[in-house]
Structure 1
Amino acid sequence: MQKNRRKERKLGANLYTIGFAIYEVPKEMHGTKHHLQKDFFLYNASKARSKTYINMREISERFRLPPNEYVIIPSTYEPHQEGEFILRVFSEKRSLSEEAENMIEAERPSKKKKGKRPSAKARESSEEENQFRNIFRQIAGDDMEINAEELRNVLNNVVKKHKDLKTEGFELESCRSMIALMDTDGSGKINFDEFRHLWDKIKSWQKIFKRYDTDHSGTINSYEMRNAVNDAGFRLNNQLYDIITMRYADKNMNIDFDSFICCFVRLDAMFRAFHAFDKDGDGIIKLNVLEWLQLTMYA
């Protein structure tokens, strides 16, 4: 059932064309709450679906399915239409249902293996690092640290070389945020190691952005952002995806490259900060007011 559409019809809005599909959950995912990823729907057919998509306030069907775990996915017929809905399930026998939610987690970087001869890619990376170290030394000066304005110059000079990436570069405020989130010693600047870590992250996130910016518009929409966040190794729930959209998307629900990178830098830094405070690994941290304000205000 569509919510609030009658009220919005008074303002000229029409009912969405709606329907739903039912998919069988793979046995290896039984008992979990993880979302099924995009690839699942490319290679698995639905077990049942509404007879048609129709522009009515509600649609209902009756099915007979063997006992198992299933996912019900309501949707609009047209892509990128967003609205609230109510899903009701009636069963002749007792049945459990709940909203699919991901565990909130981030993939931890794996440790590099020692004793192997460096590959050509590793040697190329080493040469790139030497180039960056020289550029960094020229900009940073004797203290070998750079501030937000200097970081902006370095990043924007590099981004300009990527002609296939349509972006106006990074705003100063974005670079201030990056400095704050990467600054481990509280100096207001970042040293070469902190900069190198930031640059490695930006390179990997840039590849993800380009993968979803298929029309080369310099933006991705909020629906693609969910998959991009997942590709980057972050597992979030619906509430957090909504927060990301509210915080980083424009009025058309699109996210540009600058906002995309800022979002990932913050996610990465906040997960690292949480793990640093979570000494016993139980997923719960305790902060006093000073620690809380230092963590949130500087970030």
Structure 2
Amino acid sequence: MAHNPEPLSETSVIKFNDQDFHSLRDRCLRRRLPFEDETFPAEASSIGQKLLQGKNLSFLEWKRPWELSEVPPHFILEDASRFDIEQGIAGDCWFLAALGSLTQNPQCLQKILMDQSFSHQYAGIFRFRFWQYGQWVEVVVDDRLPAIGRDCLFVRPRKGNQEFWPCLLEKAYAKLRGSYSQLHYGYIENALVDLTGGVVTTVNLHSSPSNLLMAVKMAAETGSLMTCATPNGPTAGAQVMKNGLVSQHAYTVTGAEKIQYRRGWEEIIRLWNPWGNTEWRGRWGDGSREWQETRDQRKSQLYENKEDGEFWMSCQDFQENFSCLFICNQFPITLDHGLTPHERWHLIMFKNQVLLGNTTGAPRRETQYFFDVSELTRGHNIVVSFTVKPQSLKAEDENFPIRFQVFKVRQPFQQFQERLPPTFFSPFRHDIQGIEYEVNSNFTKSFHLIPGHYVVVPSAPREKTEYLLRIFLKMPDSDRYRAFGILSGSLPENGSQQSIFYRYAQQGLDIDATQLQNLLNQELLTGMVRDTFSLDECRSIVALMDLKVNGRLDQEEFGRLWRRLVHCQHVFQNFRMSSGVLLSSNLGKAIENTVFLTGIFVSSELLDLMSLRYSDSTGRVTFPSLVCFLMRLEAMAKTFRNLSKDGKGLYLTEMEWMSLVMYT
């Protein structure tokens, strides 16, 4: 039953409703007719009565993006951002807050969005992937969206950019759930798990870690998704309060900093509202006195007074106004004993499990899952996570469908490996040490257990219940770095990039190619003399990331570069030889395993040319050369698809052609 996550591949993806994207798209292209999804029709049934009831939708129509936009629509323009999202009439902030956080982790987001557009092989059909109970499921939708006039009824594109990926992704999730009405109110934990396949740590903000700021920054460094929720207000539903926050509402946590204020320091946290506006009006909010008074040199990077739904507030106000913080990662994050981000976890997974219901009142204990704690580790060392299938959930149920207990198995019962006898559960025994919990559709509980033999015993009080069970076991700290393959000179991930950027940036604003060369060679390649980044390579990298076309990288552009460098390093380490050399013969594998190149095809002839271009005479590819190759391949493929009208060719003026090839 032991299981470790595997790379996502086409063969490991389940097709929802048995709809194959490629065959459906190819048939539409042959017929020259846009796709119409009969399994999720452009009808009231796809919206659902919960959202139709009491609303005058007589002018409702289903329109495709090119009918809703005055300019040609885009799937993604540049990078996907939380600011592309604006919530509609459905109360799905729980899903959109999780999605907003996912945009800060491009590698995870790319698994869901893939490489799609309104130009290359457009046939009115799109596909998205969601994690469901131990496997990825691909959902196909047409691009007909419910709208009144030019306004989408649900998630709508931000004005000015006409990016439709959030609208289409929301539609795919509605199809997976049954209708748009099934998105009207839900659990944040469910959205986080469905978007990542990760495990959720829930932090009670009224009894949270003493150093909440460090906990949030540490979670950001690991690429975790972070969301939070306000408690219920005096009336049912989401209501805007006097302080600008919305009751019974989900927000995305997007950052945390310690900032100079008056004679000391203030800890502040940044949040984003899926409504796209309606912001906090208290301390450190947009236009507040605190921002006017601070003399912190980073003010220009941290603070923007915009009606974009994003705002800062003090950590104290955050804890007083929000009830829970949800942190989701591929493996558990424990916020105790030093906030260690790189712990090694072993995963045991039990898929497609079934519990029979019980009407007698006495707990049934036939289903048992054993595990061992071999060594004592610091903090929480066991995480138990249940994910219940929606077919086992009933909307009218107030109680959750599964309860479970964790028992320490002592002698003489350790001889039983598959099922403990009824005598083990005798109420007269004093050494059972059971711990009982209830679970909802996604429930995670952390424990600190001493070494020994243990068993998890779930029970279903009423109905038959299907579920996935994951048990995470923390490994000893001594194995941490060897398990993760962390080498000296490894890039720290997202959170640490800011401090490195500020050390090399001019006045904390931006960096040029020379500063980037110093940064990469000193922070990343210490002692690797032969493989240093040349100035010409750094000029090329700057040109590829330079959205403002000013020959420099600001903090946002550097952040985009940083995420790609982190991923390039993982690819380089995975395919290099034991001697530390990457051979040109492995460039094809490197492309296949680079997340930001998903969907990009390279012919064998082009790959041979690239081997000549980016390797030396012995066929050796350095890490700097690999970075330049992968990033340039991404930029050129995206440029072609953005400029091409039919996906087959493009027309450029001489000046456009020269600007493209001579600068980038």
**Aligned pair 1:223/2:589, yes or no?**
no
**Aligned pair 1:250/2:257, yes or no?**
no
**Aligned pair 1:174/2:181, yes or no?**
no
CA distance in 1, matches of 2:220, 2:496: 14
- Higher deviation after alignment, 116-125 or 256-265: 116-125
1:148 CA displacement: 0.4
Q: How does 1:238-277 map to 2 (within 5 A)?
A: 238-277=604-643
Which of structure 1's runs of 4+ aligned residues deviate more than 4 A?
109-123
CA distance in 2, matches of 1:201, 1:172: 19
Letter of the structure 2 residue corresponding to residue 140 of structure 1? A
Q: How does 1:135-214 map to 2 (within 5 A)?
A: 135-142=500-507, 144-160=509-525, 168-214=531-577
CA distance in 2, matches of 1:268, 1:180: 13
Letter of the structure 2 residue corresponding to residue 292 of structure 1? W
Cα distance change of structure 1 residues 201 and 281 upon mapping to structure 2, 3 Å threshold: farther
**Aligned pair 1:124/2:222, yes or no?**
yes
**CA distances 1:221-252 after superposition (whole Å, capped 9, x unpaired):** 22111211222234200121011011111111
The structure with the greater share of residues assigned to strand is: 2
Gaps of 5+ in 1: 1-27, 32-106
**CA distances 1:161-182 after superposition (whole Å, capped 9, x unpaired):** 7x8x896321111101101111
Matched pairs, number: 193
CA distance in 2, matches of 1:231, 1:129: 20
Higher relative contact order (Cα pairs below 8 Å, separated by 6+ residues): 1
Report the 3-state secondary structure (helix = DSSP H, G, I; strand = E; otherwise coil) of the residue aligned with 2:634: helix
**CA distances 1:199-225 after superposition (whole Å, capped 9, x unpaired):** 1111111111111113133x2222111
- 1:166 touches 1:216 (CA, 8 Å); kept in 2? no
Flag the structure with larger Rg: 2
Aligned residue for 1:98?
none
Letter of the structure 1 residue corresponding to residue 564 of structure 2? K
Aligned residue for 1:58?
none
CA distance in 1, matches of 2:508, 2:499: 14
Aligned residue for 2:115?
108
CA distance in 2, matches of 1:264, 1:275: 17
CA distance in 2, matches of 1:296, 1:276: 16
CA distance in 2, matches of 1:230, 1:239: 16
Counting aligned pairs with the same residue, the percent is 25
1:160 CA displacement: 3.4
Letter of the structure 1 residue corresponding to residue 657 of structure 2? W
Aligned residue for 1:298?
663
1:138 CA displacement: 3.7
CA distance in 1, matches of 2:631, 2:652: 22
CA RMSD of aligned residues (A): 3.4
Per the normalisation by structure 2, the TM-score is 0.26
1:281 CA displacement: 5.1
CA distance in 2, matches of 1:197, 1:241: 26
Report the 3-state secondary structure (helix = DSSP H, G, I; strand = E; otherwise coil) of the residue aligned with 2:618: coil
The structure with the greater share of residues assigned to helix is: 1
Aligned residue for 1:104?
none
- 1:179 touches 1:188 (CA, 8 Å); kept in 2? yes
- 1:159 touches 1:169 (CA, 8 Å); kept in 2? no
**CA distances 1:132-167 after superposition (whole Å, capped 9, x unpaired):** 223323422347111001111222233137x8x896
Letter of the structure 1 residue corresponding to residue 573 of structure 2? K
Cα distance change of structure 1 residues 211 and 124 upon mapping to structure 2, 3 Å threshold: closer
Letter of the structure 2 residue corresponding to residue 202 of structure 1? L
CA distance in 2, matches of 1:131, 1:222: 32
CA distance in 1, matches of 2:637, 2:623: 21
CA distance in 1, matches of 2:507, 2:663: 26
- 2:513 touches 2:539 (CA, 8 Å); kept in 1? yes
CA distance in 1, matches of 2:608, 2:222: 39
Gaps of 5+ in 2: 1-19, 24-113, 117-127, 129-164, 171-187, 193-199, 202-217, 224-254, 257-492
Letter of the structure 2 residue corresponding to residue 131 of structure 1? S
- 2:512 touches 2:551 (CA, 8 Å); kept in 1? yes
- 2:220 touches 2:495 (CA, 8 Å); kept in 1? no
Report the 3-state secondary structure (helix = DSSP H, G, I; strand = E; otherwise coil) of the residue aligned with 2:612: helix
- 1:222 touches 1:249 (CA, 8 Å); kept in 2? yes
